[in-house]
Structure 1
Amino acid sequence: MFTYFLLVTTPFWFLFSSIPASGQILPPYAGRYGEWRLLHESIGISAMHMQLLHNNKVVMFDRTDFGRSNLSLPGNQCRDDPRDTVLRTDCTAHSILYDIKTDTFRPLMVHTDTWCSSGGVLPNGTFVQTGGYNDGDHAIRTFEPCDDNSCDWVELQNYLSQRRWYATNQILPDGRIIIVGGRRQFNYEFYPRQNPSSSGSIWLNFLLETRDDAENNLYPFVHLLPDGNLFIFANTRSISLDYKKNIVVRQFPQMPVDDPRNYPSSGSSVLLPLDENKSIEVEILICGGAPRGSYEQAGQGNFMRASSSCGRIKATDGNPSWVMEDMPTARVMGDMLLLPTKDVIIVNGAEYGTAGWEFGHSPVTRPIIYRPYGLPDWRFSVMSPASRPRLYHSSAILILDGRILVGGSNPHVYYNFTNVEYPTDLSLEAFAPPYLSTEYDRIRPKIISAPAILRHGQAFSLSFYVPEYLTADVLSVNIIAPSFTTHSFSMSQRMVVLKLVGVLRLSSDTYNLTTVGPSTAEIAPPGYYMLFVVHEGIPSAGSWVNIQ
């Protein structure tokens, strides 16, 4: 006999029939600090950039202008580049495709220089990669996922209207990608262009205003707000931009701790989860960075201690202000990622110095998990240390099974493995957050079936299994966009907590859940997302859905 559970209030409580109450919710991450696993001692390249694709493969790449990597191209292929400043003919790979399921990788051919470039994923799943250095600074590169070995980079060398080096990308509600800034570029443009014949770039004075001697406004933090405007943070300042009209509609207060947060001071930022079960509040979290003067001092061999502060601001408030907190340790060059549980993990980085060649010191190897909705004194948890440092030019992404994939770290102009304090790292490893511990298997949900396509505002059903019991008042369905990560910022990263309607019990341990797709394209732009069912703070493995 079926048993129904209907949502009746906010927050979500269910009317129970025969499902037992849990008694007491397990404390988050009880007794565990996460686990590291080395996947490969060498993938042949240092993973400066990473993008997860919807077929559970990951594109990783470095730069092309430093000489040979440690991975040969197949079939006697070579890249011939007369503009390369180091090596004109190069028969090694600078990009790979990593297959999560098989734990294998293959080399890819990239011709133009991808150093300090940016990227994003179109609604159809095509990875678009923009800019870089030298012959790559005006380039567009695309990568269409495939399930055989046929796919590789397709490059258009002179598509961009301006040089895009250290720029930021963000997917938009109409499916285009906006490309913001770059070194000495105080403007933005779009891919694809609405008008193919237009020059494409639009001036943004804010980027000029926030530049200082160290150019601490590179890789600006860009987040799409639910009203369709963009939150843009550079150095210590932030605005809301109506990019359609090129109007700054709001200037937010300056962050009270005057430490620059963008490259090369390299803090990190996330848009906290958007919850459709209640009135949407939009909060941006920014953590880490480096004091003013750090870049110049590091160049002289003096490594200033990084910032330990985090700032949160509610962009939807009528009179918003920054609320400051302190991390357990200072951190620069940390990567911030949203976890399926609505928590934030901060991984990689250093305690002293800044981003830049040889400019970081004292690696921070312990990830931190930040619980944004916990009590203020109990928000930070320190995890198990990694076996190796991840400094300048490292990256990290969330993958479908809930692990964090971590790679890269090359603080040198060239690959350097000997006689240096922090050798170039070509390894790939994964961090399993505490929620993946086997002690939680009895309450871990498992998705049995879920739709492949969601539509904005339309209800849908999925079925899942929970071995021991279901505590419906701590149940949620969360979707996360796969982000492009480089230089301590994960572009287009966002999470939406979907609106729950009710739960139907099918058997003693199997349930059907009804929920509603994201309400608007401003809440969740079209494209691929990882969908997780989360029960008592423990997520299922994800399922890919495409929002149309």
Structure 2
Amino acid sequence: MAYRPSKQFKKTLLGSGAVLVLAALNAPAAVSFAEEKYHAYKIARPDYTRRYGSWAEVPVPAEYRINAIHAALLHTGKVLLIAGSGNDQKNFDAGTFETILWDPARNAFKKVPTPVDFFCSGHTQLPDGRLLVAGGTARYEVLDGEVKKAGGGMRVKNESPDKEVTLKKGTVFRSPSGIEYVSTSEVTVPRAKREFEISYFASGQMKPWKTKVTAAESRVFVEAREEGPEALTTEAAQYEVVGLTGEDADNVYGLAQKLTTEKQDFQGIKAAYEFDPKAERYVPVAPMKDARWYPTLVGLQDGRVLAVSGLNDVGDVVPGDNEIYDPESKKWTKGPFHYFPTYPALFLTRGGKLLYTGSNAGYGPADKGREPGLWDLETNTFTKLGGLTDPDQLETSASLLLPPAQNQKVMVLGGGGVGESEKSTARTSVIDLSADSPVFTDGPALPQGTRYLSSVLMPDDTVFTSGGSRDYRGRSGSDVLRAQFYDPESNAFTEAAEPTVGRNYHSEALLLPDGRVATFGSDPLYDDEDNTKLGTFEQRIEVFTPPYLHRAGTARPVLGGGSRELDRNGRATFTTEDAGRIVKARLMRPSAVTHTTDVEQRSIALGLTKGSDGVTLTVDVPDDRTLVPPGWYMLFVVDRDGVPSEAQWIQVG
């Protein structure tokens, strides 16, 4: 139908002499003003919102505005927004690290003390509802041309089998020629490994014991005390630790191969914490063995967590040393070895294998670790999967396990070239893991090439996608102010209302328990199309209300009282006056998202049984924990018109 402005709208637009004068003096400005007013009028119309949905900005008090780098939904219904230093080196240098807890039901905010710089950490939901947060920032990058002092990785050796050695930040290493380098962080080197060797004489008698000592090793970043070419070296050498005496001086030393003024990348930390949603605070747990910046944490079927990739404590991509966290012991152990670029998208699939879609977010060579595949953790075998269009444009792409999870279909959307490439793709691809020989096949194209696309699973089995940019970090004013729904059944996109806030790098989106979608963050490189003004971090929160919540005269189905845990048969029963019109139930895992990477969200179809009394409803949860990993979930029921209830929280053990 044609939209006609109301009388009030016409009066506002044309009834003022001042506006007519303005139009005469500056016709383009007047036309732009008129278009904006008309657009605002059009998208507020009920028939528009019923078809496309609507957007609204959340009022955030100034003291709670934050550079949201990470967003996670907790089983209390609150959203944890983590900035750490927020991609701001001044904050990092000052030790100013931030976390905000947002309650969308009351639009209330709370500051949470943040113990370390969680900027670019990894996170995942634990079975008890806590959020594991691990890694973060130890040092900001220094670009080519800005490095004033030679620096690089120092391997610190300890040959003593009797004690570990801790060298504090600021420890001095001296080269054979007398050049001194200073460590930028504390480093602990374990005891050397002592092994006993047993051998025998020809007569069969045992020879005296022999021992073999293998030096232990840790890494630390060092930089020269002074500027100048004297400190540059690309030759291997041994460095004494200034201040050590006696046996310590003999047993502990440094080895370095390359100390230069080349670009120095970000460096990670080993720290790990659990965020307690009830106490609303971070609780320290054992640190990781490897420092990690830009890691992925993925929950496994037994409740443990696998941490992969990231930049280590000297700024190198962790070469494949992965580790597993046990939420019972609060400790880490060695995991299967495999190399991935940073923030790889890994999904737990039926049977326990992990699918790597090839989606990632940034660091690592273009020709290593970027091919999709299925990873068997038990045998540590990786089977590559083909068929993907534009395989060189997977960086900053979105990936998700399509609903319902039982179908075992995974989708990749958009993406761009490696690094600061101008390339972006409109490609979507879907792989059916239940097929005998799964391969990626092309899905419908996005409206344009898009990096940093946010993709959110919805209770009605659609996928809501929004935002992103065509170019690297929104360069050249390339933010995409569009949104759309993908329907897995029809394999097609339909248009949704357009957001008003651009979202590119460092942006997030997640499903709220009331069925809306909240969007956060954005860190553009520039604030103008000519790339002359440095970008400003986007601190506004915008929430999308889907069409199913705008359907006039349709009340949402309501789930009443019921258990927050499953019985021994994997079932839970609820009361509802709407049992007659409810047609399906979905168990939806809450998001933990950063850098377009959300390996947590999944939607599981549940068995549904209606009681003979007409007011009870029993849901049946699959007992396959590779399909339904342990943890807290949102339970939605959906009526015959596609309208979902508000979520009830339920725990799967």
Counterpart secondary structure, 1:447: coil
1:485 aligns with 2:593: yes
Distance in structure 1 (CA, Å) of the matches to 2:375 and 2:598: 20
Distance in structure 2 (CA, Å) of the matches to 1:419 and 1:237: 36
Q: 2:618 aligns with which of 491, 509, 514?
A: 514
The answer on whether the counterparts of 1:181 and 1:218 sit within 8 Å (CA) in structure 2 is yes
The answer on whether the counterparts of 1:456 and 1:520 sit within 8 Å (CA) in structure 2 is no
1:366 aligns with 2:482: yes
1:447 aligns with 2:551: no
The answer on whether the counterparts of 2:460 and 2:638 sit within 8 Å (CA) in structure 1 is yes
1:117 aligns with 2:121: yes
Q: 2:450 aligns with which of 331, 342, 346?
A: 331
Give the % identical residues: 25
Distance in structure 1 (CA, Å) of the matches to 2:617 and 2:455: 30
Distance in structure 1 (CA, Å) of the matches to 2:59 and 2:107: 9
Q: How does 1:58-207 map onto structure 2 within 5 Å? A: 58-64=79-85, 66-67=87-88, 88-90=93-95, 94-134=98-138, 137-146=269-278, 151-155=280-284, 159-183=287-311, 184-185=317-318, 186-192=320-326, 200-205=334-339, 207=340
- Residues 449 and 193 (structure 1 numbering): CA distance in 2 closer, same or farther, change over 3 Å? closer
1:220 aligns with 2:344: yes
Q: How does 1:309-328 map onto structure 2 within 5 Å? A: 309-325=427-443, 326-328=445-447
- Residues 33 and 246 (structure 1 numbering): CA distance in 2 closer, same or farther, change over 3 Å? same
Distance in structure 2 (CA, Å) of the matches to 1:412 and 1:38: 23
Task: Tell me what 1:6 maps to.
Answer: none
- Residues 338 and 440 (structure 1 numbering): CA distance in 2 closer, same or farther, change over 3 Å? farther
Task: Tell me what 1:526 maps to.
Answer: 630
Counterpart secondary structure, 2:552: helix
Q: How does 1:427-466 map onto structure 2 within 5 Å? A: 427-439=540-552, 441-442=554-555, 444-455=556-567, 457-466=569-578
1:392 aligns with 2:505: yes
Distance in structure 1 (CA, Å) of the matches to 2:441 and 2:430: 5
Alignment deviations for residues 224-255 of structure 1 (CA, whole Å, 9 cap, x no partner): 1111111112255222222233233x332241
* Deviation of 1:222 (Å): 0.8
Distance in structure 2 (CA, Å) of the matches to 1:456 and 1:287: 39
The answer on whether the counterparts of 1:369 and 1:380 sit within 8 Å (CA) in structure 2 is yes
Distance in structure 2 (CA, Å) of the matches to 1:116 and 1:445: 39
After the TM superposition, which of the residue ranges 477-486 and 196-205 deviates more from structure 2? 196-205
- Residues 333 and 525 (structure 1 numbering): CA distance in 2 closer, same or farther, change over 3 Å? same
Alignment deviations for residues 452-484 of structure 1 (CA, whole Å, 9 cap, x no partner): 102575333222233xx9456xx1110000010
Task: Tell me what 2:465 maps to.
Answer: 346
Distance in structure 2 (CA, Å) of the matches to 1:393 and 1:166: 12
- What amino acid does structure 2 have at the position aligned with 1:366? R
- What amino acid does structure 1 have at the position aligned with 2:269? D
* Deviation of 1:193 (Å): 7.8
Distance in structure 2 (CA, Å) of the matches to 1:517 and 1:193: 23
1:498 aligns with 2:606: yes
TM-score after normalising by structure 2 = 0.65
- What amino acid does structure 2 have at the position aligned with 1:34? G
Alignment deviations for residues 193-244 of structure 1 (CA, whole Å, 9 cap, x no partner): 8988876254214x3xxxxxxxxx4211111111111111225522222223
Distance in structure 1 (CA, Å) of the matches to 2:354 and 2:516: 29
Alignment deviations for residues 488-522 of structure 1 (CA, whole Å, 9 cap, x no partner): 1212211100123x323545xxx322331222211
The answer on whether the counterparts of 1:336 and 1:489 sit within 8 Å (CA) in structure 2 is no
Counterpart secondary structure, 2:593: strand
Counterpart secondary structure, 1:37: strand
Alignment deviations for residues 511-535 of structure 1 (CA, whole Å, 9 cap, x no partner): 3223312222111011100000011
Distance in structure 2 (CA, Å) of the matches to 1:273 and 1:176: 24
Distance in structure 2 (CA, Å) of the matches to 1:189 and 1:462: 40
1:284 aligns with 2:416: no
- Residues 87 and 476 (structure 1 numbering): CA distance in 2 closer, same or farther, change over 3 Å? closer
Counterpart secondary structure, 1:489: coil
- Residues 133 and 89 (structure 1 numbering): CA distance in 2 closer, same or farther, change over 3 Å? closer
Q: 1:273 aligns with which of 393, 403, 409?
A: 403
Counterpart secondary structure, 1:449: coil
Task: Tell me what 1:542 maps to.
Answer: 647
TM-score after normalising by structure 1 = 0.77
Distance in structure 1 (CA, Å) of the matches to 2:83 and 2:271: 16
Distance in structure 2 (CA, Å) of the matches to 1:182 and 1:403: 32
The answer on whether the counterparts of 1:483 and 1:492 sit within 8 Å (CA) in structure 2 is yes
Distance in structure 2 (CA, Å) of the matches to 1:117 and 1:228: 25
Higher relative contact order (CA 8 A, sep 6+): 1
- Residues 441 and 198 (structure 1 numbering): CA distance in 2 closer, same or farther, change over 3 Å? closer
- What amino acid does structure 2 have at the position aligned with 1:539? P
Q: CA RMSD in A?
A: 2.9
- Residues 282 and 464 (structure 1 numbering): CA distance in 2 closer, same or farther, change over 3 Å? same
- Residues 85 and 245 (structure 1 numbering): CA distance in 2 closer, same or farther, change over 3 Å? farther
Distance in structure 2 (CA, Å) of the matches to 1:65 and 1:428: 16
Unaligned segments of structure 1, at least 5 residues = 1-28, 68-83, 208-216, 298-302
Distance in structure 2 (CA, Å) of the matches to 1:540 and 1:202: 41
1:48 aligns with 2:69: yes
* Deviation of 1:63 (Å): 3.2
The answer on whether the counterparts of 2:83 and 2:97 sit within 8 Å (CA) in structure 1 is no
After the TM superposition, which of the residue ranges 174-183 and 537-546 deviates more from structure 2? 174-183
- Residues 456 and 221 (structure 1 numbering): CA distance in 2 closer, same or farther, change over 3 Å? farther
* Deviation of 1:95 (Å): 1.0
Distance in structure 2 (CA, Å) of the matches to 1:512 and 1:65: 48
Q: How does 1:10-25 map onto structure 2 within 5 Å? A: none
Counterpart secondary structure, 2:548: helix
- How many residues matched? 456
Distance in structure 2 (CA, Å) of the matches to 1:413 and 1:365: 17
- What amino acid does structure 1 have at the position aligned with 2:449? A
Distance in structure 2 (CA, Å) of the matches to 1:193 and 1:441: 44
